Amino acid sequence: MLIGKYTLASTQSHDTKVEITVKKDSVVTKKDTLYVKRVTKPSLNDNNLMAELKLNKIQHPEIVLAQARLETGGYTSKVCRTCNNLFGLRKGDSYRSFSHWTESVKAYKRLIQSRYKGGNYYAFLERIGYAGDPYYTSKLRDII
């Protein structure tokens, strides 16, 4: 049983050995060695986004990466910076907000790709009305 609150942190990118001594009434009751994996969220760039798309089994990741680049103006838009929203995903009249951009990828899979049943992905995006811009898929092709 753990007594008290413990915060573990590491500045290394690999597993870290941490020894914890649990005390109750100044008596050592247990000593454990834990291996703590450092968990950091990746910074937003094309390589990390592509890795996240593949990790989440996003179909046509090269097209989806182009969508993120187009929707965010190269990851610089206000919605991207303040809401961590890479795809302009909305709920009603407002943009969805995420704690980290990786959550936006998961939402894209849940909200958009769950409706994809195969075939031409550009045609799918047009069919579901993903963007109001009639040249949207042409712009995606230009990015790729």
Q: What is the pTM of this model?
A: 0.71
Distance set, CA 48 to CA 10, 29, 114 (Å): 21, 44, 22
Domains of the chain with bracketed CATH: 1-40 (no CATH), 46-143 (1.10.530.10)
pLDDT (tens place) for every residue of the chain, 144 residues total? 444 444 444 444 445 555 555 555 555 555 555 555 556 788 999 999 999 999 999 999 999 999 999 999 999 999 999 999 999 999 999 999 999 999 999 999 999 999 999 999 999 999 999 999 999 999 999 999
**Tens digit of each residue's pLDDT (9 = 90 or more) over 91-105:** 999 999 999 999 999
Residue 74: per-residue pLDDT:
96
Sign of the dihedral defined by the CA atoms of residues 47, 51, 52, 54, in that order? positive
